[in-house]
């Protein structure tokens, strides 16, 4: 089992957050389909909701698990950026004038490699 937590503002529907987190798992081959990934809301704080994504991984090798965790974090960032949803971790001070997102056209800014996983 592997898990990760993100915090997202209350202005994003929780159902959308659940779908984005589950969607991010689809691009990682080592994440098992059965048992299925799931999301739990672990906190309702002053400024955001904490969501924990839990997945099952098809490996016991620590180095592979670390890579899968890294791939999952990258996939989550891509999925949220694609849909225009800001990840508000770890601190929230106020709404910015423009959303803090990375446009897909900028995902591979130098020196990034387009063939890099995920």
Say if CB 84 and CB 28 are below 8 A apart. no
State what percent of residues in the chain have pLDDT above 90: 57
Mind listing the pLDDT tens digit for each residue in 10-51?
888 899 999 999 999 999 999 999 999 999 999 998 888 999
Q: CA-based angle 11:14:15, to the nearest 5?
A: 130
Q: Which tokens in the block code for residue 51?
A: 């969501």
Q: Name the one residue in this structure whose structure tokens are 């309702």.
A: 44
Give me the residue spans of the domains in the chain: 2-106
pLDDT band at 91 (very low <50, low <70, confident <90, very high): low
Global pTM reads 0.81
Name the pLDDT band for 116 (thresholds 50, 70, 90).
low
User: What number does CATH give the domain 2-106?
Assistant: 3.30.70.100
List of residues 6+ apart from 114 with CB closer than 8 A: 108
pLDDT at 52: 97
Instruction: State the average pLDDT for the chain.
Output: 87
Provide the Cα torsion 14, 20, 22, 26; round to 10°. Answer: 170
What CA–CA distance (Å, rounded) separates 2 from 45?
24
Beginning with the edge strand found earlier in the chain, give each strand of the sheet holding 48-55 in spatial order. Answer: 2-9, 48-55, 38-44
């Amino acid at each position: 089992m592997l898990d990760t937590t993100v915090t997202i503002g209350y202005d994003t529907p929780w159902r959308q957050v659940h779908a984005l987190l589950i969607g991010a798992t689809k691009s990682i081959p080592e994440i098992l389909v059965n048992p299925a990934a799931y999301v739990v809301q672990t906190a309702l704080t002053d400024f955001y909701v904490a969501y924990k994504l839990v997945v099952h991984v098809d490996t016991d090798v620590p180095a592979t698990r670390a890579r899968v965790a890294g791939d999952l974090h990258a996939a989550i960032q891509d999925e949220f950026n694609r849909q225009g949803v800001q990840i508000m971790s770890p601190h929230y001070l106020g709404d910015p004038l423009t959303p803090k997102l990375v446009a897909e056209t900028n995902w591979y800014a130098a020196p990034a490699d387009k063939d890099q996983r995920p």
